[in-house]
Amino acid sequence: MSGPSLWQAAAHQAVHEAQETEVAQGLAWLAAFNRRQDPAAARVAAALVETWNQRVLAHLTAEEDDLYPWLRQARPQVRGLLDQLAAEHAALTRAVAAARAALEEKGPDAVAAVLEPALDLLRRHARREESLLASPAAAVPVRPVRAHS
């Protein structure tokens, strides 16, 4: 995910909002299945963990591999905030690993207990990152062009 959705503030915000909505809906579904003690809750929990992996963690990886290094070099004044955001990425990655372990060891109820606070962190993180991308200090006028081999 290194196209315009990573480099343009409005598109980046739209990606965040879509991730948050998808994860929140998954948590709502999981809560409903858990309340009914539906045996399918484990499958819903596994799908939710996979959503985090494919949508959220993949996005965080793209940011750290492509966007953050460029911002660190081009906008040194935001390095401290980028360090904080990277630490939040690490916390979110740990939460997803903990959710996967919780599903295997304790069941689907435990997944919700891990991922609900992770969603709160994701929302706070996204707003801070969006503010950074929208600020003049971090403005990314044009995505750097890479030569194709």
pLDDT digits (tens, 9 = 90+) for 42-61: 999 999 999 999 999 999 99
Most confident listed range (74-78, 106-110, 138-142): 106-110
Tokens of 91: 């916390």
**Spatial separation of the C-alpha atoms in residues 140 and 132, rounded to whole Å:** 10
Q: Which residues of 50-62 are buried (b: 16+ CB within 10 A; e: fewer)?
A: ebbeebbbebbeb
Closest CA to 29 of 112, 118, 134: 112
The pLDDT of residue 140 is 55
Average pLDDT over all residues of the chain:
90
Q: Is 119 left (phi over 0), alpha (psi -120 to 50) or beta?
A: alpha
As assigned by CATH, the class of the 4-137 domain is mainly alpha
The pLDDT, as a whole number, for residue 144 is 54
Q: What is the DSSP letter of 106?
A: T
Look at residue 140 and give its three-state secondary structure: coil
- Could you tell me the pTM of the whole model? 0.88
| Average of per-residue pLDDT across 54-69 | 95
| Sequential DSSP letters for 1-59 | --SHHHHSHHHHHHHHHHHHHHHHHHHHHHHHHHHTT-TTHHHHHHHHHHHIIIIIIHH
- Going by the DSSP 8-state scheme, the letter that residue 143 receives in this structure is P
pLDDT higher than threshold 90 for residue 87: yes
Q: Is the pLDDT of residue 16 over 50?
A: yes
pLDDT recorded at residue 134? 84
